Structure 1
Amino acid sequence: MSGNRPLNDAEARAALDWYRAVGVDFAVGEEPVDRFAASVAPSRARPAAAPPSASPVSGSAPAQAAAPVALSLTSDPSETTALAAAAPTLEALRAAMDAYEGCTLKKRATQLVFADGNPEAEIMLVGEGPGEQEDLQGKPFVGRAGQLLDRMLASIGLDRTKVYIANMVPWRPPGNRDPSPEEMALCTPFLLRQIELVAPKFLVTLGNVPTKSLFQTQNGITRMRGQWRDLTINSHATRALATLHPAYLLRTPASKALAWRDMLSLKQAIEGGS
């Protein structure tokens, strides 16, 4: 195929699908740039850079420093802490999150993925962040991992009318990558307030990201799974269980036996009332 001929419709769609799969889903400029053409254009001679230690000549105007590169942390986490604390209900919290513009994840996402299930439930599950299907439908755990989660819950007599499900970040990270520390810092106050308002008796963390954050540990999920901890989330005290993320179980089916043990542990805690 010639490198310069225009793509046909099928090739263009395939290229867009590939870009989306690897997380290239946000334009950085108003006009497209042909990087291939630029790479073969004659390069212009560049002036030699001044030595870093060179000082300005006496009497001359000082050189202006280059503008710093913007970080993904575009807002102060204290802002989301204040917004979350001011929300008296889940409805008000959702409205505050929907109006918040300080996290760059929102600019790349289709919509806010707030929660699913019963806000009156005694059991709350917390995942990592929305995937592609969750981003499109606006609900957590609706893709293949969500279907497996539904089967896991059904195995111990639960369904989405008996649990409440949310994520550490409410907007999809591009390419389904892990949320960055900056994104976690901005979004965690919203999740903590969500837990406080739901006030679950039992909290289940699904996977590495929510377990490390809510359990305040550096240990990975393979070491933490199956463990119960007494946690205080803002003003709410709850018992928390760490287990494997359904997406991990899809990749490593042999680990389903471990998740089954965790589900039995949750069932025993529910039936025992503590």
Structure 2
Amino acid sequence: MTPAAGGLTRRTRFLQALGIGPVWVQRDTVVSDDVPLPVAIAVPAAPPVAGVAAPVVSKQDKAVSAWDDASVPVRAAAAAAPILVMPADEGAVAIARMSWQELELAVASCTRCPLCRNRKQAVLGAGDQKPGWLFVGEGPGHVEDQQGEPFVGPAGKLLDNMLLALELPRGENNYLANAVKCRPVGADGKDRPPSVDESAACRPYLERQIALLQPAVIVALGKVAALSLLGGDPKIAVAALREHTHRYGSIPVVVTYHPAYLLRKPLDKAKSWRDLCLATQAYASDGKLAV
């Protein structure tokens, strides 16, 4: 397929935004005098998902940079999460009745698990409070803990490009949240995934956020988010949860890889593209999926 007059085809734009296109590139082709284009023969384009239309590209859309950047430092490998003892969940009923303002205050002063001891500030989330899309990650990292915003580090930059590929600028028709609201820190002082107990302690906050937001579709970014939303065996791999539309109550949930993982494994961006197509299909159906 050749580019349409006046620009690239919609599909080509989408693939390039995901960092997995162009699909076929002549080996000698260059984009400048000294920077050759990467040969993409080893990374074939993912097949289109049946019934999923390509996202509409605005005529005045901004240029979307490639999903990964070799200059972006890769997130350090996560340290093993310690097993924590979850406190008695006496506040869950109260949390389930909170307004947004009350929820913000409760999260900011939360002591439901030991993660509160080392945080600079809790991170509730950010974005449109009446969104069609909800993206849930695992927990704040060092940069998020400092700034009080979700997804503002290298993984956040990648997520922004994922959103733009869907014509979803950050904060417009989307909300970003995490399974836990305080930064999990390993014994080495680096970021780590939250434990099962930490996720369970924070789950009432996430549940209340979803109840207030009422999104049309939820995208779970990584295993921690998927298990917080869906439950299941902690040993299950993200690969086993992908390519299926799950449900959180009546809301469709699509599981894909966390952006931090994609920074380490860029070839899996093609798989995430298929996941986003599946989420687009769920969103287009307004959550009313065939049984």
TM over 0.5: same fold?
A: yes
Contact 1:126 1:203 in 2 (8 A): yes
Q: Relative contact order, CA 8 A, sep 6+: which one is greater? A: 2
Cα distance per residue 1:241-272 (max 9 Å; x no partner): 11110000000011010001111222233334
Instruction: Give the superposition deviation at 1:223.
Output: 1.4
TM-score (normalizing by structure 2) = 0.65
**Counterpart residue identity of residue 73, structure 1:** V
Query: In the alignment, what sits opposite 1:201?
Result: 216
When residues 242 and 22 of structure 1 are mapped into structure 2, their CA distance, relative to the original with a 3 A threshold, is closer
How many residues in Structure 1 have an aligned counterpart in Structure 2?
Answer: 202
Q: Contact conserved, 1:212 with 1:220, CA < 8 A, in 2?
A: no
State which of 77, 82, 87 in structure 2 corresponds to 1:75: 87
**Which amino acid is the alignment partner of residue 263 of structure 1?**
L
**Partner SS state of residue 151, structure 2:** coil
Change (3 A) 1:271 1:238: closer
Q: Give 1:145 shift.
A: 0.5
Alignment of 1:152-171 (within 5 A): 152-160=162-170, 161-171=172-182
Q: CA deviation at 1:22?
A: 9.5
Instruction: Report SS of the residue matched to 1:79.
Output: coil
Identity of aligned residues (%): 37
- In the alignment, the residues of structure 2 paired with residue 273 and residue 185 of structure 1 have an alpha-carbon distance, to the nearest angstrom, of 29
Moved more, 257-266 or 240-249: 257-266
User: Looking at CA atoms only, which structure, 1 or 2, has the larger radius of gyration?
Assistant: 1
Instruction: Return the letter of the residue paired with 1:207.
Output: G
* 2:119 pairs with 1:109: yes
Q: What is the Cα deviation at residue 135 of structure 1?
A: 0.6
2:267 counterpart of 1:254: yes
The Cα RMSD (Å) is 2.1
Letter in 2 for 1:230: R
Within the candidate set 237, 241, 249, 2:254 is matched to 241
1:266 aligns with 2:279: yes
Normalised by the size of structure 1, how large is the TM-score? 0.69
**Cα offset for 1:120?**
0.7
Q: Distance in 2 between matches of 1:82 and 1:171?
A: 21
Unaligned runs of 5+ in 2: 1-75
1:156·1:264 contact (CA, 8 Å) conserved in 2? no
Q: 1:210 aligns with which of 217, 225, 228?
A: 225
Q: Which runs of 5+ in 1 are unaligned?
A: 1-20, 25-70
What code does the residue aligned with 1:165 have? L
- Secondary structure at the counterpart of residue 248 of structure 2: strand
**In structure 1, C-alpha distance between the alignment counterparts of 2:285 and 2:227, rounded to whole Å:** 27
Q: CA deviation at 1:79?
A: 2.4
Partner of 1:224: 241
Give the equivalent residue in structure 1 for 2:70. none
Deviation at 1:231, TM superposition (A): 2.1
Query: Which string of whole-angstrom CA distances, capped at 9 and with x for unpartnered residues, describes residues 142-162 of structure 1?
Result: 111011011011112112212
Q: Please list, as runs of the form range in 1=range in 2, the aligned pairs for 1:56-71 lying within 5 A after superposition.
A: none
Aligned-partner Cα distance in 2 for 1:269–1:75: 37
